[in-house]
């Protein structure tokens, strides 16, 4: 509470008191009392007034400061009105009621919005699950009738599957915590799984694969990591030149493990490079090779942030290298020998 303001508010009170004191003293003098008795009255009056005012001021200040500190320590500040104690003074009570009313309506609003989103999300998830059935059915049909036409179908189906997966992961990306399963995984196992996912795509585009195998392991969720690598592979293929190459290799530096996904594609131009992870950014490349949604890398970055994986891009005329960095947990490694 602002002390100066408090005392400034009390100025009219002081003035009234002083005027009354003067009037009373004059009156008493006229009536016949001597200066000593008047002095006693005035002294006691002043002492009382000063004492009461100072005491009230300190109490109020202490209480209000406590409230402010309480509010600052609270994370969800919109729940402040639930936490504040009921005030005793009439003015504060009115303000408190107003605060409660505002908070209540806001909480209701948030609740409604949250519920709507939840329903929508659940609908999407449900839809995605439903749609997987026909996609799988179509895949089976294609595999049972292996013909060139069906191979192309498979490729398209892979794409469809990828997009539905992307939608699913996008929907789920807010609540990744609910689906974690962190374990020690061999990086190149995941790499091979991601390659296998996109088998048809790579075959069709005649992509040459180079993998520098290593036994390095990291602690992460393999499903999410697989999805991220999927995305990077798709991008590499999309923005490739003739005779595309995909190069996977790792490097250990300090307390981090780096996984490099290198392609020799068209590369990303310098002024687009800082912005590739932005939501909906398609850039120059997106305009050349259409069908870019701008969501892929954005989703990758979000997932990497949630998983604690660093993601970065290096690019030039000769191609793009996506770098994933994993923290080595020395403690666990040491414990595990």
Partner 1 sequence: MKEILKLDHIQKFYGNEGNVTKAIQDIDFSVQEGEFLGIMGASGSGKTTMLNCISTIDTVSAGHIYLDGTDVTEIKEKAIAKFRRENLGFIFQDFNLLDTLTIRENIALALTINHIPVGEIEPRVEEIAKSLNIADILDKYPYQVSGGQKQRCACARAIINHPKLILADEPTGALDSHSSQMLLSTMQSMNENLGATILMVTHDAFSASYANRILFLRDGVIFTEILKGRDTRKVFFDKILNVLTMMGGGISDVL
Partner 2 sequence: MYFRLAFQNVKRSIKDYLIYIMTLTACISLFYAFLSITSRYYRPDIGAEFNLEVLGDGMLLVIILITMLLIFLVQYVNRFMIRNQQKEFAVQSIMGMEQSMIAGLFFIETLVMGLFSLVLGIVLGVIFSQFITAMLLQVFQKPFVFSFMLFPDTVFLTVFFFGACFAVVGLFQIHTIRKIKIIDMLHADRKNEAFSTTHKWVEKVLKVNFILFFLMGIYSIRTLTYYLTDEFQTAIQIWVLISIVIPFVMVGLGIAEKKIRKSSSHVKYLLMVGVVGFAEMITVSLLPVWKMYFALPMDKGAFNLYLAFIIWCLIFLVSVFFVVFSDGLLVLKNRSLRVKYKDENLFFFGQILSKLGSNTLSMTLICLTLTLSISLFLLTPFLVEWAQGFLDKRVVYDIQIDSDYTAAENVKLLPETDYTFLDSFFEEKRITLKDDCTFSTYFLKASDVHGQSAITAISLSDYNHLMEMFGYEKISLAENEFSTQWLSITPKSTMETFETQYDRIATDNGELILSAIEPKTEELGEVIYSNQNVVLILPDLTCDKLTVANSYRYIMTESPLSYADAEQLTDYFHEYMPMDGQEVYSVTTKTIERNDTSALIFIVQTGLIYSAIILFVICFTILSLQQLSDSGKYRYRFQVLRNMGVEENHIRRLVLKQLGIWFGVPVMVALLISSAFILFLFIGFSIQIRTYIGAWKLLQQVGTILIILFALLICYFTSTWILFRKSISQGQEGKCNV
Q: Is 91 in the site for partner 1 (CB under 8 A)?
A: no
Nearer to partner 2, 83 or 288 (CB): 83
Q: Is 2 in the site for partner 2 (CB under 8 A)?
A: no
Strand partners, 316: 319
Q: Is 79 in the site for partner 1 (CB under 8 A)?
A: yes
Strands 217-220 and 256-263: unpaired
Site for partner 2, residues 66 to 95, rule: CB under 8 A: 86
Smallest gap from Cβ 101 to partner 2, in A, equals 20
145: left (phi over 0), alpha (psi -120 to 50) or beta: beta
Considering CB distances under 5 to 8 angstroms, the limit depending on partner class, which of partner 1, partner 2, none binds residue 317?
Answer: none
- C-alpha 14/C-alpha 205 separation (Å) is 90
Site for partner 2, residues 10 to 39, rule: CB under 8 A: 33-34, 36-37, 39
Binding mask 91-130 vs partner 2 (x if CB under 8 A, - otherwise)?
A: ----------------------------------------
Q: Is 252 in the site for partner 2 (CB under 8 A)?
A: no
Smallest gap from Cβ 93 to partner 1, in A, equals 10
Considering CB distances under 5 to 8 angstroms, the limit depending on partner class, which of partner 1, partner 2, none binds residue 70?
Answer: partner 1
Q: Binding partner 1 by CB under 8 A: which of 73, 148, 254, 337? A: 73
Nearer to partner 1, 48 or 83 (CB): 83
Nearer to partner 2, 36 or 317 (CB): 36
Chain contacts with partner 1 (rule: CB under 8 A): 70, 73-74, 76, 79, 81-83, 85, 100, 103-104, 107-108, 110-112, 115
Chain contacts with partner 2 (rule: CB under 8 A): 33-34, 36-37, 39-40, 44, 86
């Amino acid at each position: 509470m602002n002390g100066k303001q408090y005392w400034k508010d009390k100025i009219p009170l002081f003035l009234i008191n002083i005027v009354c004191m003067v009037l009373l003293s004059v009156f008493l003098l006229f009536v016949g009392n001597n200066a000593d008795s008047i002095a006693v009255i005035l002294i006691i009056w002043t002492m009382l007034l000063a004492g009461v005012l100072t005491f009230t001021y300190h109490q109020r200040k202490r209480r209000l400061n406590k409230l402010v500190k309480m509010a600052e320590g609270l994370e969800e500040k919109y729940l402040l009105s639930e936490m504040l104690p009921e005030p005793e003074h009439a003015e504060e009570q009115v303000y408190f009621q107003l605060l409660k009313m505002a908070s209540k309506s806001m909480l209701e609003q948030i609740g409604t919005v949250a519920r709507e989103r939840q329903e929508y999300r659940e609908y999407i998830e449900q839809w995605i699950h439903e749609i997987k059935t026909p996609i799988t059915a179509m895949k089976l049909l294609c595999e049972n009738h292996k013909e060139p036409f069906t191979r192309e179908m498979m490729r398209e189906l892979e794409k469809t599957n990828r997009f539905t997966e992307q939608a699913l992961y996008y929907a789920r990306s807010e609540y990744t915590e609910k689906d974690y399963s962190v374990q020690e995984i061999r990086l190149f196992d995941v790499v091979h799984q991601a390659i296998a996912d996109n088998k048809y795509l790579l075959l069709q585009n005649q992509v040459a694969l180079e993998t520098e195998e290593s036994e390095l392991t990291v602690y992460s969720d393999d499903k999410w990591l697989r999805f991220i690598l999927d995305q990077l592979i798709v991008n590499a293929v999309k923005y490739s030149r003739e005779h595309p190459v995909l190069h996977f290799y790792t490097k250990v530096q300090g307390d981090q493990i780096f996984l490099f996904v290198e392609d020799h594609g068209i590369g990303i131009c310098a002024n687009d490079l800082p912005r590739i992870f932005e939501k909906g950014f398609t850039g120059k490349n997106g305009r050349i090779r259409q069908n870019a949604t701008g969501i892929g890398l954005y989703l990758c970055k979000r997932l990497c942030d949630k998983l604690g994986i660093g993601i970065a891009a290096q690019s030039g005329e000769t191609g793009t290298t996506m770098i994933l960095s994993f923290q080595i947990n020395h403690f666990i490694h040491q414990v595990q020998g």
